[in-house]
């Protein structure tokens, strides 16, 4: 028998396409609800697989994203579960694409499917990896930016699991602020 997960998770892929809107360029790849299915799909995404058209995060073309969200939550600010939420953002420097990106992404996925955030796991919506020339980004999205206890506990757990040193700061940004930022940097509502 397979080991059921608490939630069903969906993987999404974003590739920029000038003929489509941002939303239309988000594609669902696959969903899974057992540990075994996660690991079999994980092979495609994180190890060098038989199928060379599917890549690890660090091998994606710059400008592309992977997202993994609970089933029924779209990886966008507009979704009902995201619209009052925000994200813990980890900005990587360019060198970390080869050293840290795939490891951090996998660890974030494992935290999510393992419901590692204890009583706050329900507030986690999903996570996104953005592969960008300026430096890659990892974000873990939560549903309620006003719930400081939940946001801080999720952030602390994440920092611990990724073994991010206390020198590095992590910021939590409210989606409503990100949406309207227009070029400038979004302010951090919480930091760790
Ligand atoms: P990004 O890909 O999060 O970061 O946002 P980047 O600036 O490092 O590439 C790039 C652009 O994608 C935004 O300015 C929006 O136009 C669009 N975009 C990103 N997100 C996460 C959303 C979203 O949730 N909803 C919508 N409608 N557009 C988004």
> 132: Cβ below 6 Å to ligand 1?
yes
Residue pLDDT, tens place only, 93-151: 999 999 999 999 999 999 999 999 999 999 999 999 999 999 999 999 999 999 999 99
Does the beta carbon of 178 lie inside 6 Å of ligand 1? no
pLDDT tens string 151-171: 999 999 999 999 988 777 899
Ligand 1 site, residue 77, Cβ cutoff 6 A: yes
Question: Does residue 39 have its Cβ closer than 6 Å to ligand 1?
Answer: no
CA of 23 to the centre of ligand 1 (A): 9
ipTM metric: 0.98
For residue 130, report the distance from its CA to the centre of ligand 1, in Å. 10
The residue nearest atom 20 of ligand 1, judged by CA position, is 76
Output the CA 2–ligand 1 centroid distance in Å.
36
CA distance 91 to 97: 11
Q: What's the pTM? A: 0.94
Distance CA 88, CA 125 (A): 12
Q: What angle do CA 72, 78, 82 make, to 5 degrees?
A: 65
């Amino acid at each position: 028998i397979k080991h059921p997960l608490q939630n069903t998770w969906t993987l999404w892929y974003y590739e920029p396409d000038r003929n489509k809107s941002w939303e239309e360029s988000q594609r669902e790849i696959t969903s899974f609800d057992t540990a075994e299915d996660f690991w079999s799909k994980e092979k495609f995404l994180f190890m060098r697989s038989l199928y060379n058209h599917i890549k690890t995060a660090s091998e994606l073309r710059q400008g592309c994203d992977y997202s993994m969200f609970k089933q029924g939550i779209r990886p966008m600010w507009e979704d009902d579960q995201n619209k009052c939420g925000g994200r813990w953002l980890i900005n990587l420097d360019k060198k970390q694409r080869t050293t840290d990106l795939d490891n951090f992404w996998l660890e974030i996925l494992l935290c999510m499917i393992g419901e590692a955030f204890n009583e706050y796991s329900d507030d986690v919506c999903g996570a996104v990896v953005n592969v960008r020339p300026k430096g890659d980004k990892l974000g873990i999205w939560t549903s309620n930016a006003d719930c400081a206890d939940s946001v801080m506990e999720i952030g602390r757990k994440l920092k611990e699991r990724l073994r991010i040193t206390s020198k590095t700061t992590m910021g939590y940004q409210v989606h409503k602020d990100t949406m309207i930022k227009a070029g400038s940097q979004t302010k951090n509502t919480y930091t760790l």
